[in-house]
Amino acid sequence: MNPIPHFVRTVALATLSLAACNANWSVHPFTANEAVTQSFTTTVPTRVVAEMFNGSIEVITGTDATIKIDVDKRGGGDTQAAAQEDLKNVSVTMTQTGDTVSVIAKRTDARVDIGNSGASASLRVPAGTVLELHSGNGKVVVSGPVGKSKAVTSNGGIEVKGAAGPLSLTTSNGSITVNGGSGQLTLETSNGAINITADNVDVSARSSNGAINFKGSLAAGEQTFRTGNSSIKLTLPEGAAFSFDAQTSNGKINSDFKVTASGNFNDTSLQGTVGENPQAKIVLHTSNGNISLKQSK
């Protein structure tokens, strides 16, 4: 039996994700756009909630206490007039309650085939802002020293650069890239790679189909890196101390570190410790791929 091509598998999963949301997707020949903009002045720190559909979310940090939100509404139709009329079915509300600013985009009708209809958001927020971001189909990009952040999307990658707080990032189809963050990093994708560069963090990284790469240092406690069909590579400081449990069904385990084995010791299974008095316990599991423990240069 020939394997299912990755592209076909991804499209099929994307279709299933839309079906699960009671929405069908098709390309209409015409699209109409409308820009909606609003600003809020808040005390710092604050919380921003953004919910879009069939569109991306981009967040950058500014230097003042102003939150600026730009939303691009889209309507779709078989004619330009129909697409323009469809814009009326895309509702965007922006509100401020206490220290929370919310921007919510949704359709107001019961239309199942949403076609080109959707909404994307660009936000500028103060440093330290707590984020809660949701999108049905689209990438999520966050840049700057935001605080605790949660991002969920169905079909699209997630990229976070320079975050100062814990991260919870989930996508069904897309890669996850993190550069920065602190505390707990919980990262999960069904189809895509996970790439992490961070220091002194707690990591739970899971991908069904995609490589996992980590570079930096790990905090005390259990750290998990799991993927179904790809490799796992950790690049850690030369003097790192940790215990680990590495398992692969089809692949090899390699370590630049001197390992004291404490359990199974072969090409596909290795348990042991590195250094003295290890405080971090690392779990690395993959079904099909190599596992590598590298020393940073």
| 92-122 pLDDT, tens digit each | 999 999 899 999 999 999 776 677 899 999 9
Peptide bond preceding 278: is omega within 30 degrees of 0, i.e. cis?
no
- The string of pLDDT tens digits covering residues 28-48 is 789 999 999 999 998 777 999
pTM score, whole prediction: 0.89
For residue 246, pLDDT over 80 is answered with yes
DSSP 84-97: HHHGGGEEEEEEEE
Which residues does 244 contact at the CB level (< 8 Å), separation at least 6?
A: 270, 271, 272, 273, 274, 281, 282, 283, 284, 293
- Across 232-255, average pLDDT: 96
The one-letter code for the residue type at 50 is A
Partners of 108 in the β-ladder: none
Degrees, nearest 5: CA angle 103-108-112: 115
Q: Which H/E stretch holds residue 42? A: none
d(CA 8, CA 23): 20
Alpha-carbon distance values, 48 to 111, 129, 147, 228, 248 (Å): 28, 7, 11, 34, 41
